[in-house]
Amino acid sequence: HFIFDHNLKKHPQFLENQVRREIAYALRSLPWISVPTVALFFAEVRGYSKLYDNIEDSPYGWSGVFLSMLSFLFFTDMGIYWIHRGLHHKLFYKRFHKPHHLWKIATPFASHAFHPVDGFMQSLPYHVYPFLFPLHKITYLGLYIFVNVWTISIHDGDYRVPRLLRHVINGSAHHTDHHLYFDYNYGQYFTLWDKIGGSYKSPTAFEGKGPHDYLRKLREK
């Protein structure tokens, strides 16, 4: 509410009653996304994964905890990139991913307004990681909260990123262009895989051509 620039609601591509529609879509989808998510969580905490309770249980101690945070981010960023890009394929897009692209000028409420299959598929890398690599349970919970906050943040229309990291961090400006131009900036946290996969686009907001600039030019007219 406080970070999102409400002036964006005046953009021509902002839909009528969009916030209400985003919330309604998310509320319909989240229970269905939760069913397989909870099943995987049970498998993870009941000993089928490599989650552990105590720092002493890690062969690398505290250093292993910090390294697992970094590897979790890079692993899930890679997984989400390819899943997200796959969901843009014509076989899957119209049925599963198109509902999320209704919101050209997204608000934070659009962050969870997914088709249930879409939302669950893009969460899979988070669940796969602890089956492959050791991860402290509290660290896992903290990271899961972080990725949800991050997902909200890249839909909030706040394009501020430190200048040195503008082309490294996949922020709101990058994801806004993904919603506007479709075939670019599939990544979650970083721009690495977009650059490897040839789908990176320098955000229009950084070039003075973003939604805020469009609104400013409208006001000037």
> In this predicted model, what pLDDT tens digit does every residue of 146-197 receive, in sequence order?
999 999 999 988 888 888 999 999 999 999 999 999 999 999 999 999 999 9
* Amino acid identity, position 38: V
User: Where do the H-state alpha helices sit in the chain?
Assistant: 18-43, 61-87, 116-132, 137-153, 172-181, 192-197, 211-220
- 199, 155 Cβ separation under 8 angstroms: no
pLDDT band of 56, cuts 50, 70, 90: confident
Looking at residue 48, its pLDDT comes to 95
**Is residue 99's pLDDT more than 80?**
yes
Percentage of the chain lying above the pLDDT 70 cut: 100
Q: Which two tokens stand for residue 17?
A: 């009653």
> Which among 159, 174, 152 is positioned nearest to 81, based on CA atoms?
174
59 Cβ neighbours under 8 A, 6+ residues apart:
134
d(C-alpha 172, C-alpha 152), whole Å: 9
Looking at residue 172, its pLDDT comes to 94
Whole-prediction pTM = 0.93
